[in-house]
């Protein structure tokens, strides 16, 4: 009994949710970001490290006009998740993005793992950006930096060990230190520096596009067909994973919610504008490189510089491109440093990480210790580790973060977050003021279908069921009883119903797509009855699991923006995310699971005991 009670208390603690007010909350951070700043912040985060690199990489793999389709589809998927970010940010206007949204909807443990994974993803991304910047500079200097490092630091012998690079990349570490230093000077300074680098990047990309169109050879695009290499679904999805990573900075605008001047308007306009500009930048980049170079000759590392270097009279452009690329990557480093500190800060403020990391400087109004910790860890990774090995891991962590956002926005739509001072568990039982029945008082209505009083009080439901029994033809009583029990449970446990519906939908959808992805050849050749049955059953269960989302009423609060076609669009985004998840290697899964297991150890040994919500719960119980 003691062991059972221990597990019960652990479950109760790990599923407690954070009450968040929808109105703007007091913050020690500096509210100085307008709509232009937020737009440029989002654009800089999304194109900073990829605008001069990803178009060439995707075009070199997929080739031809198909690369445009890859970036467009990836942009549409990013747009779907971006819409979810907007609604969540408008309902929960605090820093932390996916971590905060998970805390308010899925509970403390899931929120910690979300923030833990987000921190890891930004560390990996920042280290990678540092190495890209170093590689650009070294290439411009003819490789002299790398050669000198190997000669004078390693004695002429390169490293040859798993996970390590060929030599310590001190330039990458130096860039990260500089970007962390700029972030520590304050959000206003960071925003101005980011705007400067981003405007330089956009002007360079505009010049590249204009010159490319003037000297374009459109036969390079048309004569080889839509997909010259005859790529299939797997190649398209594999390239989409690379392209999707280019939009990975979309959450930076949501992270800046506490520093926005007007959250209700600026976040929405900024995110939509940033998405549109970023999609346009990547697609014009693909078009530029494909009309200048034969698809088989595209340089995957420096596509634009190599393309201009091979054209007589345009070699001068490669130097302009090099400057623009360095500015772009520098802006990307700034944005990633900002995002990293803004994930560590709210986790420490909530007690899940050491609280000293949430201290803000009175003059700059920035979390200096959080920024310092993230910067130091990223420097170690950038200097020592071969980041290419971990890039897919970071991409998978970001995809999982997208899944969390989809869950959060759906839960928030079907049940508003707790705005009392009380403590709420996932079961929906209020420990301090919020009642699940208050949903009706909150102005919610059934926007779909009325199932014999599903949303009515118990007495009305019983009356409706009696009338329905007299009117409907006779059926086996156990069917009526089972349906009544299920529908009543759904009505009384709205949050649990939505969470279980999404979880079962995700599981069955993952199973269905796994069968279609890995066993399609067997299905076409052998017509295995067991395989066909598995596909049919998993398809049916995938659809049936969505029923609570169609039956329950949605929140009717007046927000500046809501995700349209709820729950269809979030489910489409979830489908796309599952497709991406199925195309990561087993080694990546091992790395992600290992990192999450380490996070669980940290949570149960430190975070759960020092949680601010745990203290609030204890105080409330003592007052009762």
Q: Which CATH number covers residue 298?
A: 1.20.1740.10
Q: Residue 89 phi/psi, 5° resolution?
A: -65, -35
- Helices (DSSP H) in 155-262: which residue ranges? 170-184, 187-214, 219-222, 233-245, 252-255
Phi-psi region of 165 (alpha: psi -120 to 50; beta: other; left: phi over 0): beta
pLDDT, one tens digit per residue, over 431-446 is 433 344 344 334 444 4
Q: What is the spatial distance between Cα 178 and Cα 379, in angstroms, rounded to a whole number?
A: 11
The pLDDT of residue 378 is: 93
Q: Residue 493 falls within a domain, yes or no? A: no
The pLDDT of residue 113 is: 95
The token duo for 245 is 């990573």
- CA dist 309 → 13, 312, 315, 423 (Å): 61, 8, 5, 63
The helix (H) or strand (E) run that includes residue 617 is: helix 612-623
Q: What is the spatial distance between Cα 73 and Cα 68, in angstroms, rounded to a whole number?
A: 9
The pLDDT of residue 445 is: 42
Q: What is the spatial distance between Cα 390 and Cα 163, in angstroms, rounded to a whole number?
A: 9
| Cα separation of the two ends of the chain | 26
Q: What is the spatial distance between Cα 574 and Cα 568, in angstroms, rounded to a whole number?
A: 10
Domain of residue 367 covers 32-414
Q: Residue 514 falls within a domain, yes or no? A: no
Q: Residue 311 falls within a domain, yes or no? A: yes
Q: Are the C-beta atoms of residues 426 and 15 closer than 8 Å to each other? A: yes
Q: Are the C-beta atoms of residues 30 and 367 closer than 8 Å to each other? A: no
Q: Residue 216 falls within a domain, yes or no? A: yes
Q: What angle do CA 43, 49, 52 make, to 5 degrees?
A: 95
Q: Residue 324 phi/psi, 5° resolution?
A: -60, -40
The pLDDT of residue 196 is: 93
Q: Tally Cβ neighbours within 10 Å of residue 281.
A: 23
The pLDDT of residue 29 is: 72
Residue with token string 């203290």: 615
Q: Residue 92 falls within a domain, yes or no? A: yes
Q: Residue 506 falls within a domain, yes or no? A: no
Q: Are the C-beta atoms of residues 576 and 384 closer than 8 Å to each other? A: no
The residues of the chain scoring below 70 in pLDDT are 1-2, 6, 20-28, 30, 61-65, 224-234, 387-390, 416-477, 519-527, 556, 617-624
In 414-488 the beta strands, taken as DSSP E runs, fall at none
Q: Residue 197 falls within a domain, yes or no? A: yes
Q: Are the C-beta atoms of residues 249 and 82 closer than 8 Å to each other? A: no
477, 481, 482, 484 alpha-carbon torsion, rounded to 10° = 140
The helix (H) or strand (E) run that includes residue 464 is: helix 458-471
Q: Decide: helix, strand or coil at residue 417.
A: coil
pTM of the entire predicted model? 0.83
- Count up the domains in the chain and report the number: 1
Closest CA to 523 of 506, 507, 538: 538
Q: Residue 307 falls within a domain, yes or no? A: yes
The token duo for 594 is 């290992």
């Amino acid at each position: 009994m003691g062991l059972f009670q221990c597990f019960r208390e652990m479950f109760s603690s790990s599923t407690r949710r954070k009450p968040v007010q929808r109105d703007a909350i007091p913050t020690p951070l500096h509210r100085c970001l307008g709509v232009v700043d937020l737009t440029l912040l989002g654009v800089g985060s999304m194109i900073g490290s990829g605008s001069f690199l990803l178009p060439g990489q995707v075009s070199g793999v997929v080739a031809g006009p198909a690369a445009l389709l890859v970036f467009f589809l990836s942009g549409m998927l990013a747009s779907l998740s971006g819409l979810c970010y907007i609604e969540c940010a408008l309902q929960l206007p605090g820093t932390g993005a996916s971590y905060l949204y998970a805390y308010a909807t899925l509970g403390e443990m899931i929120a910690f793992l979300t923030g833990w994974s987000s921190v890891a993803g930004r560390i990996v991304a920042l280290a990678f950006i540092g190495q890209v910047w170093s590689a650009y500079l070294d290439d411009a200097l003819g490789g002299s930096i790398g050669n000198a490092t190997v000669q004078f630091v390693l004695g002429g012998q390169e490293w040859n060990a798993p996970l390590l690079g060929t030599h310590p990349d001190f330039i990458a570490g130096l860039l990260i230190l500089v970007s962390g230093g700029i972030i520590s000077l304050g959000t206003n300074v960071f925003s101005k520096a980011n705007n400067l680098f981003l405007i330089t990047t956009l002007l360079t990309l505009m010049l590249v596009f204009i010159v490319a169109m003037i000297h374009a050879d459109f036969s390079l695009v048309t004569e080889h067909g839509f997909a010259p290499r005859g790529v299939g679904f797997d190649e398209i999805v594999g390239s989409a994973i690379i392209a999707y990573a280019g939009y990975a900075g979309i959450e930076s605008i949501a992270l800046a919610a506490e520093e926005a001047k007007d959250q209700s308007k600026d976040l929405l306009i900024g995110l939509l504008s940033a998405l549109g500009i970023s999609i346009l930048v990547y697609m014009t980049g693909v078009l530029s490189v494909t009309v200048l170079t034969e698809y088989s000759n595209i340089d995957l590392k420096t596509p634009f510089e190599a393309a201009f270097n091979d054209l007589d009279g345009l070699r001068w452009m490669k130097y302009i491109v090099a400057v623009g690329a360095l500015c772009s990557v520098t802006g990307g480093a700034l944005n990633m440093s900002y995002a990293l500190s803004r994930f560590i800060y709210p986790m420490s403020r909530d007690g899940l990480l050491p609280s000293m990391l949430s201290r803000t400087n009175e003059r700059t109004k920035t979390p200096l210790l959080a920024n310092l910790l993230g910067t130091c860890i990223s420097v170690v990774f950038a200097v020592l580790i071969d980041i290419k090995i971990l890039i897919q891991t970071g991409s998978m962590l970001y995809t999982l973060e997208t899944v969390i956002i989809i869950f959060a926005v759906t839960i928030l739509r079907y049940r508003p977050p707790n705005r009392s001072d009380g403590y709420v568990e996932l079961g929906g039982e209020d420990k301090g003021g919020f009642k699940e029945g208050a949903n009706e008082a909150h102005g919610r209505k059934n926007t779909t279908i009325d199932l014999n009083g599903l949303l009515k009080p118990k007495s009305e439901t019983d009356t409706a069921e009696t009338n329905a029994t007299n009117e409907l033809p006779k059926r086996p009583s156990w069917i009526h009883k089972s349906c009544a029990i299920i529908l009543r449970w759904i009505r009384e446990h709205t949050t649990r119903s939505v969470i279980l519906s999404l979880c079962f939908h995700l599981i069955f959808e993952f199973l269905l797509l796994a069968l279609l992805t890995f066993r399609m050849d067997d299905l076409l050749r052998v017509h295995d009855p067991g395989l066909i049955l598995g596909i049919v059953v998993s398809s049916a269960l995938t659809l049936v699991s969505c029923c609570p989302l169609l039956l329950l009423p949605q929140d009717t609060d007046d927000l500046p923006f809501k995700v349209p076609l709820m729950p269809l669009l979030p489910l489409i985004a979830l489908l796309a995310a599952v497709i991406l998840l199925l195309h990561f290697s087993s080694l990546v899964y091992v790395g992600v699971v290992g990192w999450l297991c380490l996070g669980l150890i940290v949570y149960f040994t430190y975070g759960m005991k020092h949680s601010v919500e745990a203290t609030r719960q204890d105080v409330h119980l003592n007052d009762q």
